[in-house]
Amino acid sequence: MLVGDAIRSVLDQGPVVAEVVAVDDGSSDGTARVLDELAALHPRLRVVHRAENSGGCGTPRNDGFRAVTAPSVIFLDSDDILPQGAAEALVAAAERHGAPVAVGACVRRELPEGRDVRWQPALYHEPALLETAADLMPLVHDTLCVNKVYDRAFLAEHGIRFPDGRCVYEDFLFTARVLAAAPRVAVVPDTVYIWHVRRATARLSISLDRDGIANWQARIAAHRMAVETFETAGRKELAAACRTKFLEHDLLLYARELRGRDTAYRAGWWEAAREHLATFGERDIAAASPPARWAARFVLAAEEPRDLLRLSRLAADPPRLLPPYARSGGAAVWSEDLPVELDGVETLPLAGLPLLVDGDLRRAATGGQVRFTVRDLYGRLGAAVPRTATVDFLPRGADTPVRTERAELSEVAGGWSGRVPAGLTALAREGCRRGRRGVQLWDVRITVTCADGETFTTALRLPEDRQRRSVVPSSRYGVLLVRQYTTANGSLAVRLAPGVRDGLRAVGARLRRLSRSSQ
């Protein structure tokens, strides 16, 4: 059971963990039995049983905090783990600096594939002591409560608790209350928390279950309360940073998913977003980086949901702005009929622009070619003159490419084009060498170098009408089942199934899904 792994990861931290308090929140799935069995074996573990489920995470955390006697507190969710040495690193940093809070890096581990994604990668990259208001402002972006250690007396002195009952984003409020109390914060660059994310499960965690409009409404409500917490404490600079964080993270996170939502959701999302954004001043919006401030101004200007594909692609990671590229009075604007200015287009470095590179996989029977077109954006690329491109092929979840191909670019109508060999059999062979003998997922990344020396790196955008499958003969594997498709952020990806058996299995699974959907 997951909770057993979580408890064992804490007990394995060693003597730095004097006690472990596990709270069973009225569970009905055997969790209580597992916890009691573990407590019988480990004297450091105590179990608090709640008679009824609280409906959220805040109440059981508060119960656990009241039961703790140790001077420092770390929170851990039941399906996550602490890596070896995490508690010692956090406690040592807090004691060394006399800081009531110490923070470290967190990684999201996507299961079942085991891919690690660093949470808030701009933070926690080197040891530091944060003391001033300016120092603390970046921490507003890290709303997690679990990758930190807290001095118990500090929390008690300031009355800092989680909201009780069902609160979808209780971390937001707890973190705001901690920062509003102006603690000194010690930073360690170590990974101190592994956050397990299971997106394919039948029951998503409360915060990951974003399909219903209630989740977006809860997100907005939690953000408002966090801002109010900072303002009540007189921490206006943190309140402003919190508004910026909403625009740069929360707004874009939900906007990128709009194209896959139904009409009712879009209408409800649009209404709630516009109502909330109307409480932001122009200074708040201008403080956000593009494309966040462009997206906010567009949503405020459009009374009804529109241009959802353009908005979702602009909000994606990496951001890309689809045509048309309109101007009004010489300024770059969203569209002719909605002239929201895209300020900064003329001065941002190329790497900061939402540049668009279209690409797809062609002629798979000969090993494949990736053909691509670099699109100009308000003349910025025309001035820089793209010359060459390097295309990287990366296994899904990897940062280092296994193959890189280079191409000279030639000017075409509306941009610059190029092509590189895909080498599908070689990719499949490399995937098998890395232990991926079944279905393999490959991402494609492109870096464009211009005549003036400027470069930018982005994913290729696969137009949705070019998604296709093909079965390719292979002298090594007998057959390669090849599928090029669009990822959730609109990027080109390639799915390979090498070998007759794996290829036929994938085809059979596809046919069974089609059969079930037609019944």
Residues 200-247 pLDDT 10s: 654 555 556 788 999 999 999 999 999 999 999 999 999 999 999 999
Q: Which of 70, 86, 71 is nearest to 6 (CA)?
A: 86
Work out the pLDDT band at 503, boundaries 50, 70, 90: very low
Provide the terminal-to-terminal Cα distance of the chain, rounded to the nearest Å. 36
- Using CA atoms, how far apart are residues 279 and 68, in angstroms rounded to an integer? 40
User: How much is the pTM?
Assistant: 0.89
Q: Which residue has the tokens 């569209």?
A: 335
Which residue has tokens 């956000």? 288
pLDDT at 352 over 90: yes
Is the pLDDT confidence value at 365 over 70?
no
Q: What pLDDT, on a 0 to 100 scale, did the predictor assign at position 93?
A: 97
Q: What is the pLDDT of residues 51-75, one digit of tens each?
A: 899 888 999 999 999 999 999 999 9
Tokens of 96: 């060394």
Place 471 in a pLDDT band, splitting at 50, 70 and 90: confident
Distance CA 260, CA 255 (A): 10
Query: If you search the block for the tokens 């090029």, which residue do you land on?
Result: 484
Any idea which residue has 């940073």 for tokens?
241
